[in-house]
Structure 1
């Protein structure tokens, strides 16, 4: 009786070695990927090198798979051929294909984790704000935000604001917290490529972002953003609001603003007369004095409520319309104070 040919296992042993080798590469990646993905440039380079190694492994495995397919095709198709060898090689081919798929998924995970985050740190992007902020004309490349930080921003009427100041509880005043939350919401909606300068507007104007020499920051630069938000959190509301001085500060910036947003609650209240009393007519006059300056950018306003200032909304609406901006009067539940 004719003896059957013995199974040639050299191909299988070779493929076992290949799979073991690439399995070792994959295991090495799994054990070290988390440690490699850090903020340091050196470790980022190591992560990139690991990805390139994995890509090379995938290419080599694919080449071996093609060689295996050719080997299967070249087997003797006659009845006396070893059918078991063909089945085993086919199974090995399927296992190799799964190994390639696993390595590709690992590479995709590595590249995904290595990419820097596009969202600013410690800043939630509220989806509910779209109905309010989509109409703002915050034109690139440089937007300026003026946050009124006068005493009136502590309450919706003068008596309540004075009482809060006397109690020393201004930091937790709901209206003031909403005003700060509005700044955060606007920052979260700023598109990429737009630099932002944030100023606190009281009797004097101070930069909350960047430096006095260059107050513009990239809101997607986490370090600059967190520094600005820290100053915002520590900001106290007191005194009056000198709109003319604030606009003068903006217009004197070395890099001119291309759009402006005022977050406030009414007409300016500084400089005040010597007796400290300001009628609404006086505040309208202060507003008109501030409007004597030239505007080459859209003037937008988010106006929070304040009793005893009925002409404020109309005057800001008129200003926004004349400059191509918009005035928003938000609902009482927007934005949610943090």
Structure 2
């Protein structure tokens, strides 16, 4: 093998070329590495970018969801308003239909009443001078009919039956008996009693009692038949001799009526207000009555309720009220009493009968 020596001229050139080649290779390697790194993405930056995009996407999703919820809410509100409007329209139509039906029913009732009034106008009405031979259910007014197998007529003869107010009553108390029986209200009371007597059915029996602080039977018999003219005339004659006086004890009148005829089925009461005497008052009302010798409106109402509670349950109460001023609760309470027994309440005009 051939050995080289430093003195060999080719040795320096070769060494130089080797050095240059190594340097060039190193430069190229450096360039390659730098270029690779320049085109290589940092994973941390990429992750942050993706996270930012994800957060932006989530924010947009939330915003879109909120918008969608708002739209759904608006749709629900519009739907509810529409349904409410349709329901309101349906209810309005239903109310209109009911109103029209009620109007039609009322018109039918009015037409029926007009027909009844027209038919009644053609019926003969007995005057005060006619014989009191009952005409059954004919010639009645405002539904007030005289009916029943055993009829009781109660006529209030208290002092208040002479006047329409307290001032008149006090003034009439100073009159003589002959003048008292001629007062306008008492004469109207007599005509009302005659009106009832004239309409008692022929197959019925009637008992008549007047009452104030006491009670008295009118006529010759306890039970009178309309077919017997003499019996009816005796009742009218006794009624003409009654002088109004005293307070109003309805309990006494009812007790006497049922004592005379305990088979009465229908009662017809002629009065002008709430009772002022009787039993069944509360302790407070009794104390007030003892101390002042007068009775308040509240206690008079209490007294009527106590009287009605004692009334037989199977008897019909019919009431004709000729009202006196200053007794505002009388109409309502008497109507309720009559209605509870399936009877009739009548407060007629001053020109009736």
1:11-22 → structure 2 map (5 Å cutoff): none
- Which residue pairs with 1:51 in the alignment? none
- Which residue pairs with 2:241 in the alignment? 234
Q: 1:275-323, CA deviations, whole angstroms, 9 ceiling, x for partnerless residues?
A: 3212111211211111121331110000002011100000011011110
C-alpha separation in 2, matches of 1:139 and 1:132: 11
Q: 1:13-35, CA deviations, whole angstroms, 9 ceiling, x for partnerless residues?
A: xxxxxxxxxxxxxxxxxxxxxxx
Greater shift, 252-261 or 133-142, is seen at: 133-142
Residue 210 of structure 1 and its aligned partner are, at CA, apart by: 3.1
Residue 235 of structure 1 and its aligned partner are, at CA, apart by: 0.3
Q: 1:121, 1:226 within 8 Å by CA — same for their partners in 2?
A: no
Residue 269 of structure 1 and its aligned partner are, at CA, apart by: 1.4
- Which residue pairs with 1:149 in the alignment? 157
2:220 to 210, 231, 250: 210
Q: 1:137, 1:325 within 8 Å by CA — same for their partners in 2?
A: no
Q: 2:213, 2:248 within 8 Å by CA — same for their partners in 1?
A: yes
Q: 1:62-88, CA deviations, whole angstroms, 9 ceiling, x for partnerless residues?
A: xxxxxxxxxxxxxxxxxxxxxxxxxxx
Structure-2 change in CA distance of 1:205 and 1:243 (3 Å) = same
Matched, 1:250 2:260: no
Which ranges of structure 2 fall in alignment gaps of 5 or more residues? 1-127, 279-288
C-alpha separation in 2, matches of 1:226 and 1:233: 11
Higher relative contact order (CA 8 A, sep 6+): 1
Q: 2:220, 2:231 within 8 Å by CA — same for their partners in 1?
A: yes
Structure with larger Rg: 2
- Which residue pairs with 1:189 in the alignment? 199
Matched, 1:280 2:306: no
Give the SS at the match of 1:123: coil
Structure-2 change in CA distance of 1:209 and 1:327 (3 Å) = same
Matched, 1:174 2:181: no
Which ranges of structure 1 fall in alignment gaps of 5 or more residues? 1-119
Structure-2 change in CA distance of 1:330 and 1:147 (3 Å) = same
Matched, 1:292 2:292: no
- Which residue pairs with 1:305 in the alignment? 323
Q: 1:127-181, CA deviations, whole angstroms, 9 ceiling, x for partnerless residues?
A: 9x96754623543211000000000000011121110111223111100000001
C-alpha separation in 1, matches of 2:214 and 2:271: 15
Give the SS at the match of 1:252: helix
Matched, 1:324 2:346: no
- Which residue pairs with 2:58 in the alignment? none
C-alpha separation in 1, matches of 2:314 and 2:192: 25
Q: 1:71-121, CA deviations, whole angstroms, 9 ceiling, x for partnerless residues?
A: xxxxxxxxxxxxxxxxxxxxxxxxxxxxxxxxxxxxxxxxxxxxxxxxx99
- Which residue pairs with 1:265 in the alignment? 272
C-alpha separation in 2, matches of 1:220 and 1:203: 32
C-alpha separation in 2, matches of 1:138 and 1:325: 11
Q: When the two structures are superposed, what TM-score results if normalisation uses the length of structure 2? A: 0.56
- Which residue pairs with 1:159 in the alignment? 167
Q: When the two structures are superposed, what TM-score results if normalisation uses the length of structure 1? A: 0.58
C-alpha separation in 1, matches of 2:351 and 2:134: 13
Q: How many residues align?
A: 213
